[in-house]
Amino acid sequence: MVSNFISSANFAETKILVRSKEEIHDSVSLSFENAKDAREFSEDLDPEVHEWEPVVTFSADDVQIGSPLAPPSGPMIDPLNGNQWSLFSGHGGIDSFGTVDIDAERAWAITTGSPNIVVYVMDSGIDTRDPDLAGRVTSGFDAYNPGQNPIDQAGHGTHVASILGAIGGNNYGITGVVPGGLEIADGRFLNAQNQGDSDSALRVIRWMEEDMRRRREINPNVKFLGSNSWGGDVKSDFLEQAMQRLAAYEYLPITSAGNHGGNNDNRDYYPCNFQLVANTCVAASDRLDLKSSFSGFGAASVHLMAPGDQIYAIVPGSGSQGSYQSRYESKRGTSQAVPHVTGVAALIWAANPNLTASDVRQVLVQSVDRIPGAENFVLSGGRLNAYRAVLMATGQDPSAANRKLNATTNDGGGCSLNAEEVQSSPNFALVIVFVMSLILLAILRFRSVRS
Ligand SMILES: [Ca+2]
């Protein structure tokens, strides 16, 4: 273990986590003047009594800020929906702008959420002054300022939370993947530079565990989801074990594949590669349904793709309560893909509360829009589709939703599919099967007559 101090630059060499083998729930972080002191201290620990590991660093998984792309088409719910291609391009297929969306509007015809859903956004904090997020955050914890409400100093957590749950139909701003019933719990562990470490992450996880226990006591039907738009490539066993304990509350963790562009089947990226019940790892796709080049992937370890390129959402605004001015930015990253999946998982659970966390993951994986070639990047071989997911969760046939399996062009020239056209194709296939059966029967009868 000592060699860790020398071999990896990805943790604070002067800071370690120590815990008693008797009480693994509680670890303390110890800081030293220099790495040599830290090393000597850890060597003096009795391995029969104590365990330790270096404090490791995580960072937010977004990159590059740009301006919104050309507006998508379709009916709008809130004034700025025109910038939200991932939700408002038109029914999950390639539309006249050569774009795809996750087919959220048709999912919302079935459910817009449930007051029994709580999503833990573990991030840089959330700016709840924005009218689209006001009232959404019902509990919070700041690893840097315990006892105070988290404030977003990086802009990352507000962006993620608003993709997930900006209030829909309030004639203001944008619309989240979950426009209706939803509670957000704000666990801040990323600092103003979008960085956090395993020490602060552990504090948030312990708070989450207590928050879940309290909420479950009040409401036995409450469901717990985690939106984790962050990661790092050095493992923390302490953090993995702490997150594993949340399975006792049927917690469904959605994690990001990272922006390293590499294959998570062969490299380490956490928490995507943590062994957690129902851990659902997400890669980013772009407006042409291609895996974004920056996105991590993994045919075994990454479950599905979701829009994570040029995603327009809220960042902390300016002014005080009375004169508050909302601000928006387009961002790119697996950070932006994760809340799309978390939101659809919430819709699945709202549509069918009887599902387990693992059931919800299975629905997410099985209901994707299959994309040719995507099986090389993600287990499901496709991109998130909210409508097919909600249909499948309620026991309906998701093939009723349109697919883009056969769409081969994205130049926008008349390749738009509507629901009716696609719904008719299974019937057409049935007719062909029926006619073929008749021909086969005729041949068999003809043969039997001859013999
Ligand atoms: Ca709104």
Question: Which of 350-354's residues contact partners 24+ apart within 8 Å by CB, and which partners?
Answer: 350/111, 350/112, 350/113, 350/114, 350/116, 350/117, 350/178, 350/181, 351/110, 351/111, 351/390, 351/393, 351/394, 352/393, 352/394, 352/395, 353/114, 353/116, 353/221, 353/223
For the chain, how many structural domains are there in total?
3
In a domain, 410, yes or no: no
Provide mean pLDDT across the span 250-255.
98
In a domain, 409, yes or no: no
Give the pLDDT confidence score for residue 26 in this predicted structure. 86
Distance of CA 204 from the midpoint of ligand 1 (Å): 28
Whole domain around residue 51: which residue ranges?
Answer: 2-58
Distance of CA 80 from the midpoint of ligand 1 (Å): 8
Do 143 and 161 lie in one domain? The reply is: yes
Do 85 and 202 lie in one domain? The reply is: yes
pLDDT in tens, 199-231: 999 999 999 999 999 999 999 999 999 999 999
The percentage of residues in the chain with a pLDDT greater than 90, rounded to a whole number, is 70
Higher pLDDT, 323 or 174: 174
Quick check: helix, strand or coil at residue 168?
Answer: coil
pLDDT in tens, 101-160: 999 998 999 999 999 999 999 999 999 999 999 999 999 999 999 999 999 999 999 999
Distance of CA 378 from the midpoint of ligand 1 (Å): 32
Give the pLDDT confidence score for residue 319 in this predicted structure. 85
In a domain, 225, yes or no: yes
Do 335 and 432 lie in one domain? The reply is: no
pLDDT in tens, 30-64: 999 988 898 889 889 999 999 999 999 999 988 65
Closest CA to 292 of 280, 307, 303: 307
Distance of CA 171 from the midpoint of ligand 1 (Å): 6
Distance of CA 163 from the midpoint of ligand 1 (Å): 11
Distance of CA 329 from the midpoint of ligand 1 (Å): 15
Do 150 and 169 lie in one domain? The reply is: yes
Confidence band for 404, pLDDT divided at 50, 70 and 90? very low
Distance of CA 174 from the midpoint of ligand 1 (Å): 4
Q: Is 80 exceeded by the pLDDT of residue 432?
A: no
pTM above 0.85, yes or no: no
Confidence band for 93, pLDDT divided at 50, 70 and 90? low
Provide mean pLDDT across the span 328-347.
97
User: Whole-angstrom Cα distance, residue 71 to residue 85?
Assistant: 7
In a domain, 92, yes or no: yes
Do 380 and 314 lie in one domain? The reply is: yes
Do 58 and 197 touch, CB atoms closer than 8 A? Answer: yes
Do 199 and 256 lie in one domain? The reply is: yes
Mean pLDDT of the chain: 85
Do 67 and 52 lie in one domain? The reply is: no
In a domain, 272, yes or no: yes
Do 42 and 183 lie in one domain? The reply is: no
Do 46 and 88 lie in one domain? The reply is: no
Confidence band for 431, pLDDT divided at 50, 70 and 90? very low
Distance of CA 68 from the midpoint of ligand 1 (Å): 17
CATH number for the domain that contains residue 290: 3.40.50.200
Distance of CA 177 from the midpoint of ligand 1 (Å): 11
Quick check: helix, strand or coil at residue 383?
Answer: strand
Q: Is 90 exceeded by the pLDDT of residue 180?
A: yes
Do 72 and 88 lie in one domain? The reply is: yes
Do 297 and 344 lie in one domain? The reply is: yes
Give the pLDDT confidence score for residue 445 in this predicted structure. 56
Do 334 and 264 lie in one domain? The reply is: yes
In a domain, 411, yes or no: no
